[in-house]
C-alpha cells in the first residue's frame, strides 16, 4: 500500500496561533485514494526544519504533501527551500502569470513586484493551477516519491486536493490498495464495558481489520477499518464483521454511521419531512451552527433564537417572567418553555433548547459552572412514552447535564448532547 | 532556549476523523514558559511509529509532550510502548486507584476490570494526577529530556497542561529564555503592498526579532516575535519596534492585537456600554457563536435570531414580504431590514445581519454561490459619515461580498467580515 507523509509549514502552527485543520482534510482525501497517511509533521518556516522533515518524509513514504509558506512575503520560504532541496532554480511561468493577472484584474493595486514573484516557479517542478489563489501547486519526483507543495490557505488547499485527485496526480495503479472504514455510534454504555461486551469478537478479528474506540459527547464511535488489495472481497469481509458488531451492540446504537450527530438528525428529519429550530442560552448559537453546517439543511432547519439575556427569553420566546425569577434562567422550567416557545414562534415540528452556566464565571454552589439544562420538544398528537403532550400539543423532555471542562468544552458538549437526545427521542 | 517536540498519537488523526486541536493549545502554553516548539508529529497507535517519533523528539528537544492512546481499550497502546521504551514495567498505584474510584463513585458500572487497568502505571514514571479523568499523567526523564504522556481528550489535556505548568514540571531555571509576541491587525491593503510599505523597516530588524504575515478574513495579522534571555530588555526592544510598525501602517490598523475580531469588538462594546445582536441567514448562528464564545460576553451580547427560512425573516424580524418577493432573500433590502429588525426585536444598540448563498447548491447566474449581503446597523441620534439615521433612529451600512471557497469558508468569512465591518464602523 502507498503511504503518505504530510508536512504543514508555518511558525503560526508551532506557536499555537493557528490550528492545523488542513492535515485532517488531506488525510481523508488520501484514504479515499487507498493511500495511508503514516505521519503528519508540522514545522517552522525555517530551512533546516523543512529540509529535515522532507528527508524523513521521503525516506518513509511514496507521497509527500506539503502545505504553507508560499505567500509573497519574506516569512514564506518554502519555494526557495524546495529549489535548494531539488537543486533547481526559479523561472518565470507565463501561464501562472496570466492566471494571477486574471485573478486580480479588478484589483490592480495587488499587481506589484512582490505579487509578481508568484509566477516564478522552480524549473524542475511540474506546475498545476491553483484555481482560486495566486500560489501555484508544485509537483516534484525523487526516488519513487511524489512531493507536492500546496498553499496553506485552507480553501485553496482543499481546492488543490480536488485537482490533484481529479487529475490523478496521486494515483498509482501498480500498487493499488484500498482502505475502508465503517463507523457505528453507540450511547448509554461506558467505553470499558463496551470493550468487555465485544472482547471475544474483537480478539478474533482478522489481521487486516482493526477496531478503534472514539468517545465523543457521551457517545462512542466504533470504527472498524480494513485494508486490502481487492475491493470486493475487502468490502464483503468488512461488512460481514461490521454486521456482527452491530448485532452485538444493537441495544446501544444511535447511528449506523460515524457522521456528526447533527447530520444523522438532519437525515432523520428530512426523511420524515419534519422541521427543527433551536432556542439557546449558554450554547449561544452553537446548536444552530451545527444544524445548518452541512449542505441541504434548508430542508429541515428553519431558524433559531439565541436568547442570551433574560429579556429575550421572555419577550421573544414567551418564557414566564415569574418562573425566570423563581427558578432562575438555568432551570427545568425555563428550558422547557424555551423549547416550546421556539416551536410556536418559528412554527416547527420539533426543537432543542439549552440554558446553563458555561463559565468561567457565573457559577454558584447550587448551580456550579457546567450545569446545563437541555430540553427537546416536539409537536405530537399522541403521547410518547411516559410523556404526554400538553394542551398545545407539544411534548417536552428535559435533562440536567453536569459537564466538566472549560467554556468551549461545556458549549460543545451541551450542544451535541442536546442534538443526541432529540435524535434518540425521535428514533424511539 | 529550551525546545519541545509535541507528539500526538491516534489513528483518528491520521485518517482525518479528528482534527488535532491539542497541539496548538500546548504550543501556546509552552511559549508562555519560554519554551519554543520545534516540531509537532502526529502518529498512529502503532509501536514502531510511536518509538520512531519518540527517538526523533528526544534527539532534538529538552521537552517532549505526548497526548493520546491512554484509554482502557485494546487500540490504546501508548502506556505499553512507553514501558518498553523506558525498560520498565506496570505497577498498581493506590493513589490513582483511589482517584478513579472517586471519579466514578456514582457510576459503578464503569468500575470493571478494564477501567482497573487505568491504575496500572509504569514503575519508572513520576505520576501526576489527572484531575478530571481516569488516565494519569506520566513523566519520564532521559538524557536531559523530560517526556510527559497526557490524555488526548482535549479538556483533560488542557487541565493536565495547567497542572504541569502550575507545579513547575516543565520549568528549567538554568536556561531561562523568553519568547514574546506582539500582533497587530490591519485591513484595506493587500499583503504584498503591505510588505513593500514596511520593507525597509523589516529588513533592518534585529536578528532576534521576526515578522510574520497572517492573512485572515480580509485582514492581515502582523506578528512580531522576539526571543531573548533578559525579559526587560527584550520587552523594551520588542515594544519599540512594534511602535514603529504601528506608526508605519497606522492608517490600516483595525486592532492593536491579534485577538479574534469578535474579542476586539466585544471589548469596544463593553467599554462603550453598548449591546449587540445578530440576525443571520446563511451564516446560521456562526456570528452568534463567535460573539458569545469568550468569557464575559453577557456584558454586551443579548441574543440573535437565526432566520434561515423566509417565514422567520418575515414573522420574527419584520422583513417586508414584498421586498422578499421582489428582491429575494439575498439582497441589500432584506439584509438591511434584518439588521434593523433584530435591533428592534432584541432592543440592542447595534446589530449584524447576513443573507447569502453558502452553497454548494442554491446559486444562480446573477447570485452565484459565495454571494453574501451583510449589514451592520446601529441606533444613532446623529448621522454617521454619509449615512443618516432613518425615522426610527437606526443607521445601516450594507455590503455585498463575493466569496470564494466551500460552504465552510463562505460561512466563516462572511461572519468574520461582518464583525470586522461593525468594528470598523464603530471605531470611526
ipTM of the prediction = 0.90
A339: nearest Cα among A283, A411, A289: A283
Can you tell me the mean pLDDT for B386-414? 86
Is residue B261 within 8 Å of B416, Cβ to Cβ?
Answer: yes
Chain-chain contact of B15 with A23 (C-beta, under 8 angstroms): no
Task: Give the pLDDT confidence score for residue B123 in this predicted structure.
Answer: 98
- The CA dihedral of A126, A129, A134, A139, to the nearest 10 degrees, is -30
Q: Is the pLDDT of residue B298 over 70?
A: yes
* Confidence at residue B382, expressed as pLDDT on a 0 to 100 scale: 53
Q: In what order do the strands lie in the sheet with A350-356?
A: A394-402, A371-379, A350-356, A276-280, A301-307, B301-307, B276-280, B350-356, B371-379, B394-402
Q: Is 3.40.980.10 the CATH classification of the domain at B3-166?
A: yes
Average the pLDDT over B179-204 and give the result.
96
What percentage of residues in chain A have a pLDDT greater than 90? 90
Q: Per the CB < 8 Å rule, is A289 touching B293?
A: no
Residues of A in contact with B132 (CB under 8 A): 404-405
The pLDDT of residue B143: 86
**pLDDT score at B381:** 63
Digit-coded pLDDT (tens) for B304-317 = 999 999 999 999 99
pLDDT at B84 over 90: yes
pLDDT at A143: 86
Q: What is the pLDDT of residue B159?
A: 93
pLDDT of residue B155: 87
Q: Does the pLDDT value for residue B301 go beyond 90?
A: yes
Rounded mean pLDDT, A373-402: 80
Q: What does the domain layout of chain B look like in residue ranges?
A: 3-166, 178-255, 261-427
Q: Do A312 and B302 touch (CB under 8 A)?
A: yes
Task: State the nearest Cα–Cα gap between A32 and chain B, in angstroms.
Answer: 10
- Provide the mean pLDDT of chain A: 94
Q: Per-residue pLDDT tens for B322-356? A: 999 999 999 999 999 999 999 999 999 999 999 99
What pLDDT score was predicted for residue A399?
Answer: 97
The predicted model scores a pTM of 0.90
pLDDT bucket at A388, cuts 50 / 70 / 90: low
User: What is the fold, at CATH topology level, of the domain defined by B178-255?
Assistant: Alpha-Beta Plaits (3.30.70)
Task: Give me the pLDDT at residue A386, please.
Answer: 46
A13, A18, A309 member nearest B303 (Cβ) = A309
Q: Do B404 and A312 touch (CB under 8 A)?
A: no
Q: Do A27 and B41 touch (CB under 8 A)?
A: no
Within B33-120, where are the H helices? Answer: 47-60, 78-85, 94-103
Buried residues in B358-385 as b, exposed as e (16+ CB within 10 A): bbeebeeeebebbbbbbbbbbbbeeeee
Mean of pLDDT values over A400-424: 94
Residue pLDDT, tens place only, A21-77: 999 999 999 999 999 999 999 999 999 999 999 999 999 999 999 999 999 998 999
Three-state helix/strand/coil letters over B199-245:
HHHHHCCCCCEEEEEEEECCEEEEEEEEEECCHHHHHHHHHHHHHHH
Contacts of B106 in chain A (CB under 8 A): none
With CB atoms and an 8 Å threshold, state whether A195 touches B74.
yes
Contact A20 B17 (CB under 8 A): no
Q: What percent of chain B has pLDDT over 70?
A: 97
pLDDT in tens, B266-286: 999 999 999 999 999 999 999
At the fourth CATH level, the homologous superfamily of domain A261-427 is CinA-like (3.90.950.20)
Q: Give the per-residue pLDDT at A380.
A: 80
Question: Testing the interface with B: which of A110, A212, A307 to mutate, by most B Cβ within 10 A?
Answer: A212
**The predicted structure's pLDDT at residue A428:** 85
Distance from A8 to chain B by nearest Cα, in Å? 9
Read off the pLDDT of residues A319-371 as tens digits, 9 standing for 90 and up: 999 999 999 999 999 999 999 999 999 999 999 999 999 999 999 999 999 99
**Residue B388: what pLDDT?**
54
Amino acid at each position: 500500500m502507498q503511504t503518505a507523509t504530510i508536512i504543514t509549514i508555518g511558525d503560526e502552527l508551532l506557536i499555537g496561533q493557528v490550528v492545523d485543520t488542513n492535515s485532517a482534510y488531506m488525510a481523508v482525501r488520501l484514504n479515499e485514494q487507498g493511500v495511508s497517511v503514516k505521519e503528519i509533521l508540522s514545522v517552522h518556516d525555517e530551512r533546516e526544519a523543512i529540509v529535515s522533515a522532507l528527508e524523513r518524509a521521503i525516506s518513509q513514504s511514496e507521497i509527500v504533501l506539503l502545505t504553507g509558506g508560499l505567500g509573497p512575503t519574506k516569512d514564506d520560504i518554502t519555494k526557495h527551500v524546495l529549489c535548494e532541496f531539488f537543486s533547481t532554480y526559479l523561472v518565470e511561468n507565463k501561464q501562472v502569470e496570466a492566471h494571477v493577472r486574471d485573478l486580480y484584474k479588478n484589483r490592480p493595486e495587488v499587481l506589484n513586484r512582490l505579487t509578481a514573484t508568484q509566477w516564478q516557479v522552480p524549473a524542475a517542478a511540474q506546475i498545476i493551477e491553483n484555481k482560486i489563489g495566486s500560489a501555484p501547486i508544485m509537483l516534484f519526483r525523487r526516488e519513487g516519491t511524489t512531493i507536492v507543495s500546496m498553499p496553506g490557505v485552507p480553501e485553496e488547499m482543499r481546492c488543490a486536493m480536488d485537482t490533484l485527485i481529479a487529475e490523478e496526480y496521486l494515483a498509482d495503479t501498480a500498487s493499488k490498495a484500498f482502505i475502508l472504514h465503517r463507523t457505528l455510534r453507540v450511547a448509554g454504555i461506558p467505553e470499558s464495558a463496551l470493550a468487555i461486551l465485544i472482547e471475544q469478537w474483537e480478539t478474533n478479528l482478522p489481521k487486516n481489520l482493526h477496531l478503534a474506540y472514539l468517545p465523543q459527547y457521551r457517545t462512542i464511535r466504533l470504527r472498524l477499518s480494513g485494508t486490502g488489495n481487492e475491493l470486493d472481497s475487502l468490502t464483503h469481509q468488512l461488512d460481514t464483521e461490521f454486521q456482527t458488531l452491530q448485532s452485538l451492540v444493537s441495544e446501544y446504537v444511535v447511528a449506523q454511521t460515524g457522521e456528526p450527530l447533527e447530520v444523522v438528525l438532519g437525515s432523520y428529519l428530512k426523511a420524515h419531512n419534519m422541521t427543527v429550530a433551536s432556542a439557546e442560552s449558554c450554547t449561544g448559537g452553537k446548536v444552530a451552527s451545527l444544524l445548518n453546517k452541512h449542505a441541504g439543511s434548508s430542508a429541515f432547519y428553519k431558524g433559531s433564537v439565541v436568547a442570551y439575556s433574560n429579556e429575550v427569553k421572555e419577550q421573544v420566546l414567551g418564557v414566564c417572567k415569574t418562573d425566570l425569577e423563581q427558578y432562575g434562567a438555568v432551570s427545568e422550567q425555563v428550558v422547557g418553555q424555551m423549547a416550546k416557545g421556539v416551536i410556536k414562534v418559528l412554527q416547527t415540528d420539533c426543537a432543542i433548547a439549552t440554558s446553563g452556566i458555561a463559565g468561567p464565571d457565573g457559577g454558584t454552589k447550587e448551580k456550579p459552572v457546567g450545569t446545563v439544562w437541555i430540553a427537546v420538544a416536539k409537536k405530537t398528537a399522541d403521547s410518547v412514552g411516559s410523556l404526554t403532550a400538553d394542551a398545545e400539543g407539544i411534548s417536552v423532555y428535559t435533562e440536567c447535564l453536569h459537564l466538566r471542562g472549560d467554556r468551549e468544552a461545556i458549549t460543545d458538549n451541551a450542544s451535541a448532547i442536546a442534538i443526541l437526545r432529540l435524535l434518540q427521542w425521535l428514533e424511539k
